[in-house]
Amino acid sequence: MQFVINAYDGKDAYERRMSVRAQHLENMAKLNEAGHVICAGGMTGSEGKLIGSVLIMNFDSREQLDDYLANEPYVKANVWENITVEPINVVIANAKK
């Protein structure tokens, strides 16, 4: 199952984000290697500062996705405070021009 996750940082979360960013990226690399990451990136505000993340992920079930989120460094460090998850049907990924 494919899911799109919109995760917005809480107010004043930038320093917390930066303090666990290496852990987050290491975790994402492992998830990517396991085939769970379709697309992921940081959202930036008008000043170019990170304000959240968008992830398109592939898991066998919503329960597996929830397990990932429960252990996500940005969740554990209270960086992401507003998270939405919706099923998605990815039609094109990594399209080349």
Neighbours of 93 (CB within 10 A): 10
Question: What is the per-residue pLDDT for 92?
Answer: 83
| Predicted model pTM | 0.89
Domain spans of the chain, in order of start? 2-87
- pLDDT tens digits for range 8-57: 999 899 999 999 999 999 999 999 999 999 999 999 988 888 999 999 99
Q: What topology does CATH give the domain 2-87?
A: Alpha-Beta Plaits (3.30.70)
Cα separation, 80 vs 73, whole angstroms: 9
